[in-house]
Amino acid sequence: MQPPIAIAHTQRALLPLCLALACVLPWALAAAQSSPSVVSTKAARLADANQSFHDGYAALQRNDLATARDEFRKVVADAPEIEEGHSALGAVLLQMGDSAAAIPQLQRALALKPGDRSAILNLVVAYAQTGSYHHAIATFRRLEPKAGAKSQPIPPDVRAAYARALAATHKGSAAIDAMRRAVDESPASAELHDELGSLYAQQKRWREADEEFQRAIRIDPNLAAAHLHLGAALAMQHQLPQAVSELTTACKLRPNDAEFHLQLGNALIAENQDDDAVPVLQRALALEPNSTKIKYQLAQELQRTGDEKSAVPLFQQVVSAEPANAAALTNLGLALVQIGGAQQAIGLYHRALKLTPTNPIVYQDLSVAYIQQNDIADAIRALRAGLKLDPKNPQLYYNLGLAYKLEDDAPSAIKALEQSARLDPALPDPHYTLGILYMQQGRFDVAEQQLRGALQIRPENADGWATLGSVYRQQNKLPQAVSALQESIRQRPDQPSPHILLASILEQQGNRVAAKAQRTQAADLMRVAVSLQRASFETKTGDVQLKNRQLPQAVESYREALHSDPNYAPAHRGLAAALEQEGNATAAALERRKAAEIFASKQQNP
């Protein structure tokens, strides 16, 4: 918050300036006998300064700060020896927000007249606003009354500036005391209550902070900063629904402030409202397109919501602006791996390792990139390097087990996976992979134990239930196999393979009618899968043709895709784009409507 600048002392400065000029003029006239030209010149200069001061004061009364500034500059130019001109110019510059320019004027005023209380008050604020906190504190202490002297009131805004300087120099308790005095002297100021709340929040004194923010809001419900600060404080206290509500209000009150939207986006992320967070962060970036901080947060959120393709260019911009940001390099590498760009990611991970050579997570991510490149030996070396740094990391052992499995080194894979499971028994993946390895070795009893352990931790795993059903069949535990396969089908009814295996077991049990029904479902699903595959292929062909502006061919490809699968929404959207470019807007609108209806239907019936 930029506090209002107290310049009421300018009116008091008017009389001293006039008196000073009156004192100088007799001296100048007395000197006329020896040097008439010098006296005449000085008198004219002082007369001009006097007029400029009066004009500046009149402009100030009209709230015409620019004119007041220009007139007081004339005073300083014509009569640099007159303290009041420097004090008045410094005060106006401060009120106009040019604190840096105000400081030398106020310093000059105090050099000429050390007791100018108004200049001291304004200089405290100017120092605080420009980050010269130690100077602000030292200057404020010049206001402390000498022994036996009567204390003079200090404007609340000056006390607030002093409090901010104390807080910035890590004197939290003293800052709170100073701000509380400011609040006591101006209890109706919502801004001061908000600032006091912020100081309490810095000390993690949440109850007092919340009370001050709420007082500020009661005084001024439209004070956006108070809603922002209350929302941020509530988020720190993990009261996320209330935090989101306050931050939403703050953004409505300050719709064009990027920082407000960033804070709301972060709260939505913490509340696991990722889909809502993305557009809020996009709004923040639109308001401040050069903000690396916002780009990085948005890129991370896009990556988290599965839109790695959109995240990559944002991460690239962050890395370009901050080449020594190891975390950004790592996140960019991960996003590239997720979209198939492992080769480029490997170079980024090596750059990150040069910056943070003791970070085992970078080695873990590097191993994934190597595995995607089918470079298993380098993946294993990276994982071993990571385990030297963090020998109790279960995820590193799990990745090492997968790498050995890809090399068909089952004994080493099992050893690594078992170590992963020991280090973190709550991880389902080591148990599941061990179950598959043991099944492949024909060790069905151990495989059953591992698979059941994995499914107990994470029951929503259709493939896991199907694999367990296959193991049960090998053990001739047919009723258990049927139950496991039925659970797999319940979770993923569109997969044909569990139906086929279940049909075989039902046939073995003598239930031919049920077996036939399962085979029929499997055949139908396989036809759908083939149709979907054809539709996808034809749609991708149409996309290439559309990009090359081969419109008739693109239309034909999209129609072939829809012949294979009439409910394939991407083909409808592609056909709409091609028809629109051909000039057939009506047919294009119809195709878009079909695509929207299919999408809505899938949302309602996932």
Averaged pLDDT score across all residues of the chain:
88
- What the block records as the tokens of 403 is 């790498």
State the Cα–Cα distance between residues 285 and 538, nearest whole angstrom: 37
Number of domains in the chain: 1
Examine the pLDDT at 238 and tell me if it is beyond 90: yes
Tell me whether residue 281 is in a domain: no
Does pLDDT of 552 surpass 60? Answer: yes
Say if 93 falls within a structural domain: yes
- Phi and psi, residue 305, nearest 5°: -90, 5
Listed range (214-218, 518-522, 598-602) with the worst mean pLDDT: 598-602
Place of tokens 């308790």: 173
Asked if 322 contacts 328 with a C-beta cutoff of 8 angstroms, the reply is yes
Sign of CA dihedral 528, 531, 535, 536: positive
Least reliable range by pLDDT among 191-200, 477-486, 528-537:
528-537
pLDDT tens for 86-123 read 999 999 999 999 999 999 999 999 999 998 999 999 99
Residue with more model confidence, 604 or 196: 196
Mean pLDDT, to the nearest integer, of 174-203?
A: 95
CA pair distance 90, 104, nearest whole angstrom: 8
CATH number at residue 102: 1.25.40.10
What pLDDT shows up at residue 150? 65
Rounded-to-integer distance, Cα 603 and Cα 405, Å = 38
How far is 415 from 235, CA to CA, in rounded Å?
A: 43
Please report whether residue 250 resides in a domain. Answer: no
pLDDT of residue 202: 93
Residue 412 lies in a domain: no
Q: What is the pTM of this model?
A: 0.71
State the virtual CA torsion across 425, 428, 432, 433 in degrees, nearest 10: -80
Structure tokens at 366: 């590097």
Contact between 472 and 502 (Cβ < 8 Å):
no
233 assigned to some structural domain: no
Residue 295's pLDDT is 97
Output the pLDDT for position 549: 85
Q: Is residue 416 part of a domain?
A: no
Tens of pLDDT, residues 337-395: 988 899 999 999 999 999 999 999 999 999 999 999 999 999 999 999 999 999 999 99
Q: What is the DSSP string of 54-66?
A: HHHHHHHHTT-HH
In a domain, 69, yes or no: yes
**Is the dihedral angle over the CA atoms 192, 197, 198, 199 positive or is it negative?**
positive
Look-up of token digits 């948005």: 298
In a domain, 15, yes or no: yes
Q: Collapsing DSSP states into helix, strand and coil, what is residue 123? A: helix
Domain that holds residue 25: 1-130
Q: What is the pLDDT of residue 23?
A: 34
**Does residue 39 have a pLDDT over 70?**
no
- Residue 562: pLDDT band with limits 50, 70, 90: confident
